[in-house]
Amino acid sequence: KGDVIDVVQMNTSGLWKGVVHNRIGHFKFINVEILNERVPRRGGGGSSGSGSGGEHERSKWGQKYKQKPDSVQELLQRLNLQ
Protein backbone atom coordinates (compact mmCIF):
# COMPACT_ATOMS: atom_id res chain seq x y z
CA LYS A 1 0.00 0.00 0.00
CA GLY A 2 1.30 3.43 -0.91
CA ASP A 3 3.86 2.24 -3.45
CA VAL A 4 4.20 4.01 -6.78
CA ILE A 5 4.06 1.37 -9.49
CA ASP A 6 5.20 1.82 -13.09
CA VAL A 7 2.49 0.11 -15.12
CA VAL A 8 4.02 -2.04 -17.85
CA GLN A 9 0.87 -3.67 -19.22
CA MET A 10 -2.87 -3.13 -18.80
CA ASN A 11 -4.95 -6.21 -19.61
CA THR A 12 -8.65 -6.12 -20.38
CA SER A 13 -9.16 -8.75 -17.68
CA GLY A 14 -8.42 -6.06 -15.08
CA LEU A 15 -5.14 -7.64 -14.04
CA TRP A 16 -2.26 -5.24 -14.70
CA LYS A 17 1.49 -5.85 -14.77
CA GLY A 18 3.82 -3.38 -13.10
CA VAL A 19 7.26 -2.74 -11.64
CA VAL A 20 8.00 -1.52 -8.13
CA HIS A 21 11.28 -1.72 -6.17
CA ASN A 22 12.91 -3.55 -9.13
CA ARG A 23 10.27 -6.31 -8.89
CA ILE A 24 7.70 -7.20 -11.54
CA GLY A 25 4.26 -8.37 -10.54
CA HIS A 26 0.56 -8.42 -11.32
CA PHE A 27 -2.15 -6.49 -9.49
CA LYS A 28 -5.83 -5.67 -9.86
CA PHE A 29 -6.64 -2.35 -11.51
CA ILE A 30 -9.21 -1.57 -8.82
CA ASN A 31 -6.36 -1.16 -6.29
CA VAL A 32 -4.80 1.62 -8.39
CA GLU A 33 -5.01 5.34 -7.80
CA ILE A 34 -3.95 7.27 -10.90
CA LEU A 35 -1.59 10.07 -9.92
CA ASN A 36 -2.02 13.61 -11.25
CA GLU A 37 1.70 14.13 -11.65
CA ARG A 38 4.54 11.75 -12.26
CA VAL A 39 6.13 11.11 -8.87
CA PRO A 40 9.95 11.22 -9.01
CA ARG A 41 11.51 7.91 -8.08
CA ARG A 42 13.52 7.72 -4.92
CA GLY A 43 17.18 6.92 -5.42
CA GLY A 44 17.43 8.79 -8.71
CA GLY A 45 19.28 7.21 -11.56
CA GLY A 46 17.60 4.90 -13.98
CA SER A 47 17.79 5.04 -17.72
CA SER A 48 16.57 7.99 -19.68
CA GLY A 49 15.81 5.74 -22.63
CA SER A 50 12.05 6.11 -22.23
CA GLY A 51 12.32 9.82 -23.00
CA SER A 52 10.38 12.69 -21.51
CA GLY A 53 7.53 12.34 -23.99
CA GLY A 54 6.26 9.22 -22.24
CA GLU A 55 6.30 10.89 -18.86
CA HIS A 56 4.41 13.86 -20.27
CA GLU A 57 1.77 11.51 -21.68
CA ARG A 58 1.42 9.73 -18.34
CA SER A 59 1.01 13.06 -16.58
CA LYS A 60 -1.72 14.11 -19.01
CA TRP A 61 -3.44 10.75 -18.61
CA GLY A 62 -3.35 11.05 -14.83
CA GLN A 63 -4.92 14.49 -14.94
CA LYS A 64 -7.74 13.25 -17.15
CA TYR A 65 -8.67 10.41 -14.80
CA LYS A 66 -8.44 11.64 -11.23
CA GLN A 67 -10.84 9.02 -9.86
CA LYS A 68 -10.46 5.26 -9.85
CA PRO A 69 -12.66 3.40 -12.31
CA ASP A 70 -15.55 1.60 -10.61
CA SER A 71 -15.50 -1.40 -12.93
CA VAL A 72 -13.53 -3.13 -15.64
CA GLN A 73 -16.14 -1.83 -18.10
CA GLU A 74 -15.43 1.78 -17.10
CA LEU A 75 -11.68 1.18 -17.31
CA LEU A 76 -12.00 -0.24 -20.82
CA GLN A 77 -14.03 2.79 -21.87
CA ARG A 78 -11.39 5.13 -20.48
CA LEU A 79 -8.69 3.26 -22.39
CA ASN A 80 -10.81 3.32 -25.57
CA LEU A 81 -10.80 -0.47 -25.66
CA GLN A 82 -14.57 -0.78 -25.76
For the segment 26-71, what is each residue's pLDDT rounded down to a tens digit?
A: 888 887 787 765 555 555 444 444 444 444 444 444 545 567 778 8
CB distance 21 to 34 below 8 Å? no
Distance CA 62, CA 24 (A): 22
Residue 39: closest CA among 13, 82, 6, 80: 6
Tell me the β-bridge partners of 27: 16
Domain that holds residue 25: 6-78
Number of domains making up the chain: 1
Instruction: State the pTM of this model.
Output: 0.41
**Cβ–Cβ < 8 Å for 57, 32:** no
Q: Going edge to edge, which strands form the sheet with 15-20?
A: 6-10, 15-20, 23-28
In a domain, 1, yes or no: no
